[in-house]
């Protein structure tokens, strides 16, 4: 209940944005997300360590703006870690692979929409300010069976306290180097016809417009998880919906309209190169696909407001910095604190540490909704024996084509993570015992 009270307390009416002395809309969106974070319990925040260093962490939030000019934060997250490729097979659907703030916030947004779908499916007379049932004509005129769609009066904006890792932040990486001399490019990456594997997160920083892996320390186990710049670029084509959520909700209007970054962490040329129609996404300009998918480049705006646990926030008070291993996840319906992709206090190998946004719980939640709706084709697809089979279902054919063409035309060099397949327990009691 407290989260719902905070939700409405932190709503913003933006009719007065243009008046003198009023902060910009972007600053008010940033303030909304930061204020919601401040309401989280202390265990969800970075701490001052025993050696006097202060923890810092990126924050991302997803905000919806209604026609009546009211803004509402519907998901936020902090985090800056991901799982090494060697440990992916151990995740078994209950450990998150990537909990960078941007990706975790998007997972939270998807979980929130799925919960809204459950409420509508479970109570036929219920309504939601976020989604609605699609009418039969809408479903018959589209290839998908999705029974729900986002309310048309909503626009989606995303706030990030740091420039997304990867291509959108490479100039910032360069400027932070004591020696900004470009590194020699690996032989296998040289030549126009051989772009090679995705580059290390911060390595070979003079190579721009490239798909990159998540940044990490040189001594960290390698990962194939793609940078947040690359994943957000792809989301401009697939929408914010995950594959599972896209079985329930039409993607047509679930695209980010505006990405808000701190002015201190915004390099216009980098962002246009990473996301814009004149950068690496240019081959997709005006591209549309079946199923309601399209290339929808988001507008990028800046805010002066700084998150107090950002790198700059800590520098203001003169404290040394240390990356925090604590991640927070909040939606109007749930709140979690995570470490290493599982709930704080649980070991990574313990299924009881599964986050509400993990693949296993998301699969089960969508299957439960399909059962309530009694849509045979949807139920059959969700009753697949494995997660890999589910992702290969005919109902996701349009989405797979979008991803394949986007990677081929704009995000070449994208190598998929492998080894993350798992099965959904047939016995619900056994599953409950497992989790």
Which residues form the catalytic set?
102
**Cα–Cα distance measured from residue 245 to residue 273, given in angstroms and rounded to the nearest whole number:** 29
Sign for the pseudo-dihedral over CA of 88, 433, 380, 152? negative
């Amino acid at each position: 209940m407290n989260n719902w009270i905070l939700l409405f307390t932190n709503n913003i009416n933006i009719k007065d944005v243009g008046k003198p002395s009023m902060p910009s809309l972007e600053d008010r969106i940033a303030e909304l997300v930061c204020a919601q974070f401040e309401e989280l319990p202390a265990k969800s925040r970075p701490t001052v360590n025993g050696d006097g260093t202060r923890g810092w962490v990126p924050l991302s939030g997803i905000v919806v703006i209604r026609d009546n000019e009211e803004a509402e934060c519907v998901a936020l997250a902090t985090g800056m870690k991901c799982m090494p490729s060697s440990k992916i097979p151990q995740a078994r659907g209950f450990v998150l692979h990537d909990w960078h703030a941007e990706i975790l916030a998007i997972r939270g947004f998807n979980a929130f929409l799925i919960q809204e779908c459950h409420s509508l499916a479970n109570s036929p007379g219920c309504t939601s300010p976020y989604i609605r049932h699609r009418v039969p004509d809408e479903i018959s005129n589209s290839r998908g069976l999705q029974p729900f769609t986002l309310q048309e009066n909503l626009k989606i904006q995303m706030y990030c306290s740091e420039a997304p890792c990867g291509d959108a932040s490479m100039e910032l990486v360069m400027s932070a180097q004591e020696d900004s001399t470009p590194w020699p490019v690996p032989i296998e990456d040289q030549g126009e016809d051989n772009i090679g594997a995705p580059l290390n997160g911060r390595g070979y920083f003079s190579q721009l417009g490239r798909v990159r892996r998540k940044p990490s320390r040189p001594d960290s186990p390698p990962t194939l998880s793609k940078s947040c710049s690359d994943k957000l670029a792809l989301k401009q084509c697939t929408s914010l919906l995950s594959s599972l959520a896209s079985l329930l909700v039409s993607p047509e209007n679930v695209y980010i309209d505006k990405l808000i970054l701190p002015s201190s962490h915004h390099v216009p040329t980098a962002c246009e190169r990473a996301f814009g129609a004149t950068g690496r996404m240019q081959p997709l300009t005006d591209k549309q696909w079946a199923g309601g998918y399209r290339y929808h480049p988001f507008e990028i705006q800046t805010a002066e407001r700084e998150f107090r646990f950002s790198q700059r926030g800590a520098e203001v008070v003169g404290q040394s910095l240390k990356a925090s291993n604590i991640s927070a996840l909040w939606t109007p319906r749930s709140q979690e604190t995570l470490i290493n992709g599982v709930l704080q206090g649980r070991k990574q190998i313990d299924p009881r540490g599964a986050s509400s946004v993990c693949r296993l719980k998301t699969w089960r939640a969508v299957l439960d909704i399909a059962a309530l709706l009694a849509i045979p084709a949807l139920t059959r697809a969700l009753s697949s024996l494995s997660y890999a089979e589910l992702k290969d279902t005919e109902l996701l054919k349009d989405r797979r084509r979008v991803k394949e063409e986007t990677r081929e035309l704009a995000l070449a060099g994208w190598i998929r993570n492998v080894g993350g397949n798992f099965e959904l327990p047939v016995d619900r009691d056994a599953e409950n015992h497992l989790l």
